[in-house]
Amino acid sequence: MHGSPHRPAPCCFYLTPQLPFYSTSVTPTFVTLMLKHSSEYEYLHSRRPKTDHSHHFTHTTNSSPQRTYQVPTLLRYLLDCLPVSVDMLRRSHKKSRAGCNECKRRHVKCDEQRPRCIICTLSERPCSYPSNSQSQPDQQPTLSRLSPPISNTPASTASTGASPAISVQHSPPRYPTLPDFPYEPSTPLPDTQVNLDHMALLIHFSVSDQIPDLDDDMFEMGSRLLYKSALEAPYLLYEMLAVSARRLSVLSSEKSETYLELSMSLQTKAVSLFNETVATATVDNCNCVPMMLFSAILNRHLLANLLARREQDLVVFLGHYTEYVGLGGGIKAITHSAWPVLVDSEMKDFLIWAACISRSTPVGNQCDPLRQLLSKAGDLDEPTKGACELAIHFLQVGFDIMLAKDVQNRRYMMPFSWSVIVPQDFTDLLEQRRPEALVILAYFGLLLHYSGHLWQIGGDSGSYIVTMIAQYLGPGWEDYVSWPLSMIAADPI
């Protein structure tokens, strides 16, 4: 009755080393800043470039004796223009005059939150401000003023137009910042200025590998836009290098640790450059596209980091999962703040395409057991039930697309986006380990299982999540997780 989606033949994945993650002691200030509800979310993707006008080179890994890569003519253009980019990357560090002492010592851009800045909170460092600081610095506009007002009910999501309603702004909004990643390498790393190793990472970068949910006919435009934007925004170029290294850490068993360390270092640099940029930036036609592309790639990179972990304890995994959702909320806020300008930018076609898919009306019955389970949860208030209903709504849209036969790569859209677009009330239930929310998350694990051949999701991630939830719930809940378990057993990776 439910069927299984058509999937390409699975490829081999090497077990990657455990990734450092953020502390679970995230303050309410950070949660308030980063998490906002929205039904709008970003997607970009592409397929491999055509063989016409391409240059080839060969790379050898253990998983395949020889693999031929294509270097588009556009990449040749990027390499020719690189000196301009290097000059941009070597600009001096922009200090925070009113920043905390610790951020000044580490030479990172402080967000100047009082009494403790977000960066020190995430990295669990002592935070203090200079004694001669007379007053608190001007605060960034709150996300409630930046984000368009969007209802969290499935009905309202389906009935709205291609873009959400935007509040009138009396002055140009500023982008919200992301927390600097508290990454400390175990061994000294080479300078993060662009070098020949980074050029190799750039050659390995492919939009179809990094954002694999765009339809085939959108690849060329997406690739051209991404490379063009990377020349204008150093933080985007660094994130492209970071995610390329992260992919190679999965594909190469011999150099996995090396690529992983390099990826973490480059990602930290990318976020730091991003925060320096948005500290003084306002939304305009020049910067909205690079920031949108940055958020799209970073979201998938963070998901890959999360799913590479193999915790034996569900409670520990849920802590990491909710932290990932928190960072995704910050990425979503970037999209919201830029939306009025994005709809008139070069991203317009991508946004309309993604909005049409996300607002599809569910037609399947795979999630009916979840709705029945929710109807029996009498102790949940209406807002919380509404959040669960919206999570189920998007899950069913994901299954409808995944099980269809003619949807190309858009079937991967919901596995990458579901965790970010569900309301915060649902994530709160996961933190409380409510059985109803855990069963819903198990269904999401099945969506991940159907996408297991993608390097970001990595083989058995979906099976790992579903099995761990089933074991945690124990007797009395077998009927509600039996379908995801049976589908995984019938279609193993």
One domain for residues 440 and 417: yes
pLDDT tens string 423-481: 999 999 999 999 999 999 999 999 999 999 999 998 899 999 999 999 999 988 999 99
Of 336, 355, 374, the one marking the end of a domain is: 355
One domain for residues 382 and 473: yes
State the pLDDT at residue 493: 63
In the block, tokens 């074991």 appear at 471
One domain for residues 242 and 320: yes
- Whether residue 378 is contained in a domain is answered as yes
State the pLDDT at residue 433: 96
One domain for residues 340 and 376: no
pLDDT tens string 357-410: 878 899 999 999 999 999 999 899 999 999 999 999 999 999 999 988 777 788
pLDDT band, residue 162 (cuts 50/70/90): very low
One domain for residues 350 and 366: no
One domain for residues 202 and 228: yes
User: Six-digit token pair at 357?
Assistant: 């898919």
Q: How far apart (Å, rounded) are the C-alpha atoms in residues 252 and 13?
A: 9
Range with the poorest average pLDDT among 119-123, 326-330, 452-456, 482-486 = 119-123
User: Per-residue pLDDT for 420 more than 70?
Assistant: yes
One domain for residues 328 and 373: no
- Whether residue 215 is contained in a domain is answered as yes
State the pLDDT at residue 225: 93
Of 338, 355, 372, the one marking the end of a domain is: 355
Supply the DSSP string of 229-268, one letter for each residue: HHHH-HHHHHHHHHHHHHHHHHH-STTHHHHHHHHHHHHH
Q: Is 257 exposed, middle or buried (0-12, 13-18, 19+ CB in 10 A)?
A: middle
pTM, to two decimals: 0.66
φ/ψ region of 290 (left if φ > 0, alpha if ψ in -120 to 50, else beta) reads alpha
One domain for residues 281 and 340: yes
User: Per-residue pLDDT for 218 more than 50?
Assistant: yes
State the pLDDT at residue 87: 36
Average pLDDT, the chain: 74
Q: How far apart (Å, rounded) are the C-alpha atoms in residues 322 and 328?
A: 10
Cα→Cα distances 484→80, 157, 291, 435, 465, Å: 50, 27, 36, 15, 11
One domain for residues 238 and 335: yes
Angle at which helix 461-473 crosses helix 314-342, to 10 degrees, equals: 130
Q: How far apart (Å, rounded) are the C-alpha atoms in residues 109 and 144?
A: 23
Angle at which helix 368-375 crosses helix 435-450, to 10 degrees, equals: 170
Mean pLDDT of 94-116: 76
User: Six-digit token pair at 473?
Assistant: 């719930």
Residue 227 · residue 78 · CB < 8 Å: yes
pLDDT tens string 46-82: 333 333 333 333 333 333 343 333 333 334 433 444 4
Q: What's the domain count of the chain? A: 2
User: Per-residue pLDDT for 44 more than 50?
Assistant: no
State the pLDDT at residue 357: 80
The percent of residues above 90 in pLDDT, for the chain, comes to 41
State the pLDDT at residue 91: 39
Of 332, 355, 378, the one marking the end of a domain is: 355
State the pLDDT at residue 181: 57
Q: Which of 471, 472, 410, 452 is nearest to 212 (CA)?
A: 410
One domain for residues 376 and 240: no
- Whether residue 63 is contained in a domain is answered as yes
